[in-house]
Amino acid sequence: MRTAGAFLGLALAVPLLSPITEAGEAPAASIEIVASKRAFTPETLTLQQGKPVALVIRNDDEDLHAFVPLLLLQHTNVQVSGNGAPEFNETGFVRVLIPPHGRAELRFAPKSTGVFTYICDLPGHNMRAQIVVK
């Protein structure tokens, strides 16, 4: 009975520790956005609804930049890694500040289809681009 109990505990713990890498599921596709010379590249990128993605935002500038997705990530589970400073509120992920020559990686699965603008909201930075979810 002790063995059965230990096995059950392990079986319950594993899915909590690795929600994305379930057996048989392909690893999330990695897609890169570059912030350089105060512009985001590419201007438009396309993601698939419900499909896990690792979105890497690379800052090639000497300036601090922010990645601020408008509506795309509301009420969505987002795992952030890299050396950015993420911010969350009651609706979920709000933005990540990325230091000069830094990078942030966001792992999530887009919830809804549509065209979603993202911006850098730092003063004087007129940076915007879009993510299409199909």
Cα 23 to Cα 16: distance, rounded to the nearest angstrom: 13
120 binds Cu ion (CB under 5 A): yes
Distance in Å, CB of 64 to Cu ion, minimum: 7
Site for Cu ion in 55-94 (CB under 5 A): 65
Question: For Cu ion, which stretch binds (CB under 5 A), given 40-48, 50-58, 95-103, 123-131?
Answer: 123-131
Distance in Å, CB of 65 to Cu ion, minimum: 4
State the number of binding residues for Cu ion (CB under 5 A).
4
Q: Which residue has the tokens 């048989």?
A: 24
Q: Which is nearer to Cu ion, 45 or 122 (CB)?
A: 122
Determine contact, residues 65/98, Cβ cutoff 8 Å. yes
Cis, peptide link before residue 99, omega less than 30° from 0: no
Pairing of strands 65-69, 103-108: unpaired
Element (H, E) at 24: none
Distance in Å, CB of 18 to Cu ion, minimum: 34
Question: For Cu ion, which stretch binds (CB under 5 A), given 4-12, 15-23, 78-86, 116-124?
Answer: 116-124
Determine contact, residues 67/128, Cβ cutoff 8 Å. no
Q: Which residues bind Cu ion (CB under 5 A)?
A: 65, 120, 122, 125
